[in-house]
Structure 1
Amino acid sequence: MNKLFSFVLLVFLASCAGKAQDSSKEKIKYKITKTTAQWKKELTSEQYYVLRQAGTERPFSSPLNKNINTGTYVCAACKTPLYASKDKFDSGTGWPSFDRAIKENVILDTDYKTGYARTELKCNTCGGHLGHSFNDGPKNTTGKRHCINGAALTFSPANK
């Protein structure tokens, strides 16, 4: 019995130390990579919290939530164009919402931080966390709602 217990324990410990514990995702290589110190120097504390630590700003706290001007929403970290103002809508959730991103500039990932899978949205250039995608957007367009932290964005008005 003691040998059986030792064998089972050994098999269990070996399985815990193997690759099964590693993330199955490949490490994505972004065009822009910086050290933690560099990001902290360049971003505000709220931007760093959202973009680099996958945080969430308080709802209704971003002035971009009610912005109705024509232009482009760009990544606050690397200035990559992410969303066109024509694709923005008022979801009533308290965060800027869009029904689509600028093609290939936003990538989808999966996060389990809340205990269940959610579609996370990231900047394809620097890997900054933007927000999450949901299937409760406008039915007359894509049906998607990209719920984006305003701290992850800056607004670039259209040239007049």
Structure 2
Amino acid sequence: MKLPGSTEWVLHCAASLGQLAPGASASTTQLAEYYDLPAPYLAKQLKALVRAGVLAATTGPRGGFRLARPTSHITLLQVVEAVDGTSSPYECREIRQQGRGALPADDCRETCILAAKMAEAYEAWRSSLAGVTLADVIDSLPPTAPARTRARLTGTT
């Protein structure tokens, strides 16, 4: 499975926002400069996180994005699905019933074993991401990382 580069962007941005002081926010421009990303495209991704309830946005000169919930209540799966959706990347088109090697319909009453195994793998991947919160990620960072992130992202300590 290959996810778009924007998935990495939103995961890092969410983790960075989770390191800010309570109530603090960062603008699209600040986040884009912090990671050297294109601001217009990042803005679209951040808005998707707002629509999904992962981020909250404020407007005005001191506006920006902040987490909508505590880091312990936001999973990696929620962040990923906010921008990449919830559908499985594998779609079985039943080619086992096509071409010269086509199986008879009677042999295809059960779900294709390959489709079943791919679905199992996708659910294991989702379960793994659902079991990791932003708090878990932040807790595993070097002790100096949150202060460094705050200082470089928003100019505060």
Q: TM-score, normalised by structure 2?
A: 0.20
Higher relative contact order (CA 8 A, sep 6+): 2
Q: TM-score, normalised by structure 1?
A: 0.19
Bigger share in strand: 1
